[in-house]
Amino acid sequence: MKAELGSDKSSNVRKVVLEVLKDFNKKGIVISDSTSFVGDLEFDSLLVMEFISELEDQLDVSVPINILPDIETVGILIVNAKRIVREEHG
Q: What is the pLDDT of residues 33-47, one digit of tens each?
A: 999 999 999 999 999
**What separation in angstroms does the CA of 16 have from each of 21, 56, 69?**
8, 10, 21
Collect all residues with Cβ–Cβ distance below 8 Å to 32 and sequence separation of at least 6: 74, 75
Q: Residue ranges per domain, the chain?
A: 9-89
- Residue, of 17 and 8, whose pLDDT is higher: 17
pLDDT attached to residue 29? 96
Query: Considering the entire predicted model, what is its pTM?
Result: 0.87
> Looking at residues 66-79, what average pLDDT do you find?
97
pLDDT attached to residue 90? 79
Cα 55 to Cα 70: distance, rounded to the nearest angstrom: 17
Cα 34 to Cα 64: distance, rounded to the nearest angstrom: 22
Q: Which fold has domain 9-89?
A: 1.10.1200
